[in-house]
Structure 1
Amino acid sequence: MKIKVIMPIISDVFNDEINEEISSYAAETTEVGVCNLDYGPASVESEYDEALCIPNFLEKTIEAEKDGYDGVISLCFGDPGVKPAREVVDIPVVGAAEASMLFASLLAKSFSVVTVLPNVVPMIENISKTLGVNGNLASIRYVNIPVLEVVEKERLKASLFEEMIKAIEQDKAHALVLGCTGMMGVASDLHDQLKSKGYDVPVIDPTFAATKMLESIISMGIKQSRLTYMSPPSKLRK
């Protein structure tokens, strides 16, 4: 199968790492294509940023279907463009936040998201409500590190670990979700650190979650329902 991973930002700072990371856990038969936007925001850290990235994300998704891809991932924890994209293509489209929260809800009775900035907390809350898992959401914490700075892995891991301990001890979280798709390559280390403190809980990497969920959907031969995601009416659009 072929999956297209679209970074809904104009920066290519994560592209090589994403390609390497996904290729390490995708099935051997899965071909992965990674791209970023031609126009839009440098990162998604607000509703405004998300609105700016959606037009080109939709164009890239339509192009991916024409190029023979079997599915698309919107690789941002705000899941930008996922719902409108499902209306205009006949291949499955998966968001990283949705996939992560569904896995977390399967594995634990409560979970916390640890994200980048306070700006995105309401966005994540809204996704949990739309998805129907807000009752399982113990808390949303943030490390106060901008998206484009999460490449500083040691600083990131130290800040995430501190907030994860608080989420477990204060918020009663039984699972943790990394709330940014740029937080790659740290989930396993954080799980081990937490386990050494007596907390053997899942730490879910959103990029990993989205990849495995999309592969499963494609393997099952299913896609989004046309009763939920109806094709847009034909009309003039400029």
Structure 2
Amino acid sequence: MKIRVLLPIVVDIFNEEVKQEFRNYFPETTEIEVCHLDYGPASVEGEYDEALCVPNMLEKAIQAEKDGCDGVISLCGADPAVKPAREVLNIPIVGAGEASMLYATLLAKSFSIVTVLPNVVSMVENVSKMLGVDSKLNSIRYVNIPVLELVDKEKMETSLLEEMVLAIEQDKAHALILGCTGMMGVASILQEKLKERGYEVPVIDPSFAAAKLLENLIAMNIKQSRLTYMTPTKKMYKQRER
């Protein structure tokens, strides 16, 4: 099995960490490729950023299929380019946001998401609405840490724990989702710390969720429905000259 993980950003500061994390998610025989963008935003923290990352995300997804990949992951809680990519790909592509929400709805009657900034709240909420699970989404909280500053793991972990406790106590969340794929390597730690406080609830890592969902789709030999994601009609597409 060969999969490609697409980061919707032009910087490579997360590439190696992502590759190491995903090595833990898949069998040893799986070939894992991590790819950042050639052009677009440095991080996705709003609708404008998402719009800028989509063109190259689509190009990278199409190239992944041409290179023989069995599946693609859009590694962002807002799932950029997932839906349009499903129209042009004949391999499955999943988004980290949708994958984590699907798992949360299986495990609890309600869930909350803790993300990075207030700028992304509406984007994450839109994913829940398109997925049809918004009735179970009790709240979206944020730690007020920009994506590129999530490399400070101690600060991130402390802030996440504080907001997660509030989500449980005030928002009545029964499951919790890390609302940014830059929040790697802390889900199990936070889950244990919440348990120590008396809250035995699942804490879902969106990267891990996307990986296992994609693995299952590939194993089942299924992909997006052509009745939902119809192949684009043939027409001229003009690209910007570079």
TM-score by length of 2: 0.98
- The two structures, once aligned, show a CA RMSD in angstroms of 0.5
Please state whether the residue corresponding to 2:140 is helix, strand or coil: strand
Report the equivalent of 1:89: 89
Q: What amino acid is the match of 1:220?
A: M
Give distance in 2, aligned partners of 1:181 and 1:99.
12
Q: Residue 184 of structure 1 corresponds to which residue in structure 2?
A: 184
- List alignment gaps of at least 5 residues for structure 1: none
Tell me which residue corresponds to 1:133.
133
Cα shift at 1:25: 2.0
Superimposed CA distance per residue, residues 2-51 of structure 1 (whole angstroms, 9 cap, x where no aligned partner): 11000011010100000000001212222110010000000000000000
* Structure 2: runs of 5+ lacking an equivalent: none
Residue in structure 2 matched with residue 236 of structure 1 by the alignment? 236
1:225 corresponds in structure 2 to: 225
Corresponding position of 1:52: 52
- Following superposition, the deviation at residue 113 of structure 1 comes to 0.2
Quote the offset at 1:99 in angstroms.
0.1
State the Cα deviation string for residues 83-121 of structure 1 (Å, max 9, x = none). Answer: 000001100010000000000000000000000000000
Whole-Å separation in 2 of the counterparts to 1:26 and 1:183:
19
Structure 2 letter corresponding to 1:117: L
Matched residue SS, 1:72: strand
**SS of aligned partner of 1:28:** coil
State the AA in 1 paired with 2:29. T
What is the CA distance between 1:205 and its match in structure 2? Answer: 0.3
Question: In structure 2, what is the Cα distance between the partners aligned to 1:25 and 1:87?
Answer: 27
- How far, CA to CA, are the matches of 1:87 and 1:206 in structure 2? 23
Query: 2:200 matched to which residue of 1?
Result: 200
Instruction: Tell me whether 1:32 sits opposite 2:32 in the alignment.
Output: yes
Instruction: Provide the rounded CA distance (Å) in 1 between the counterparts of 2:26 and 2:200.
Output: 25
Query: What is the CA distance between 1:218 and its match in structure 2?
Result: 0.3
What residue is the counterpart of 1:115 in the other structure? 115
2:163 aligns with 163
Identity of aligned residues (%): 70
Instruction: Report the CA distance between 1:53 and its aligned residue.
Output: 0.3
Query: 1:73 and 2:73 equivalent?
Result: yes
1:234 match: secondary structure: coil
Deviation at 1:183, TM superposition (A): 0.3
Aligned residues between the structures: 238
